[in-house]
Copies of this chain bind each other. A is one copy, B any other.
Amino acid sequence: MDNQPSEDPQERLVRQLIFVREIDRLKEIVRRNWLVDGSRRENDAEHSWHLAVLAMVFHEYAEEPGVDIAHVIKMLLIHDVIEIDAGDTYAYDASAQEDKEARELAAAERIFGLLPEDQAEEFRDLWDEFEECQTPEARFAASLDRLLPLMQNYDSGGFAWRENNVGSDQVRDRMKPVGEGSGVLGEVADWLINSAVERGYLRDGER
């Protein structure tokens, strides 16, 4: 991270402090899935933390050799920050997916734009890389971002799936990136889906 301060140091620091305060709001963005104890739904900030630790734990399963895990972690830490403005778009809600991109682009402009210019660019590049999913690091990050909610839904007995009338075909489709980022974790995903259907957590077939 090479920072090239381009402005008054005081102004730079103030912009950084404003950003740090603004992203506190990610703790208020609620996702569909539930905590393991079933007490409440998860928020984006704790989801991002959980994913970053997953990257540390599952590093050895990244499909492509030499994946820069620090880079994966940074991507995962900031990948949902845009949801402060854009909100959480449920993976299986087709109509909400339609204008998702426009909402998220505007959010990235505003939120990363709070930072000093060089850092705004650095964070935006990380987010773009995650969204475009074309690098080994982004593919591994995407793999984890898909796998974790599957594990959580499984652990809750499929509560969020039933709540939203999701079928196994949709879940299988949604989980394709898991195997693309990690063969081993792809097998974990397959096992979880099959077991979820067998146990009646997840309806077999289409929506």
Residues of B within 8 A of A50 (CB): 20, 23-24, 27, 45
A49 within 8 A of B: yes
Let me know if B152 and A24 touch, CB within 8 A.
yes
Let me know if A78 and B53 touch, CB within 8 A.
yes
A121 within 8 A of B: no
| Distance in angstroms between the alpha carbons of A54 and B49 in the assembled complex | 13
Q: Which of A11-42 contact B (CB under 8 A)?
A: 13, 16-17, 19-21, 23-28, 35-37, 39, 42
Let me know if A57 and B16 touch, CB within 8 A.
yes
Interface majority SS (helix, strand, loop, mixed), chain A = helix
Known: A37-B28, A42-B27, A69-B1. A77 touches B57 (CB 8 A): no
Q: Which of A60-113 contact B (CB under 8 A)?
A: 60, 69-70, 73-74, 77-78
Q: How large is the interface on A (under 10, 10 to 19, 20 to 34, 35 or more residues)?
A: 35 or more
Known: A28-B35, A53-B77, A73-B73. A155 touches B21 (CB 8 A): yes
Residue in B13, B43, B78 whose beta carbon sits within 8 Å of that of A46 in the complex: B43
Residues of B within 8 A of A73 (CB): 52, 70, 73-74, 77
Let me know if A36 and B56 touch, CB within 8 A.
no
Residues of B within 8 A of A28 (CB): 35, 37, 39
| Distance in angstroms between the alpha carbons of A13 and B104 in the assembled complex | 35
| Distance in angstroms between the alpha carbons of A69 and B70 in the assembled complex | 9
Q: Which of A143-158 contact B (CB under 8 A)?
A: 148, 151-152, 155
Residue in B24, B58, B69 whose beta carbon sits within 8 Å of that of A16 in the complex: B58
Known: A36-B21, A184-B13. A57 touches B119 (CB 8 A): yes
Which residues of A come within 8 Å of B, CB atoms?
A: 1, 3, 5, 13, 16-17, 19-21, 23-28, 35-37, 39, 42-43, 45-46, 48-50, 52-54, 56-60, 69-70, 73-74, 77-78, 115, 119, 123, 148, 151-152, 155, 184, 188
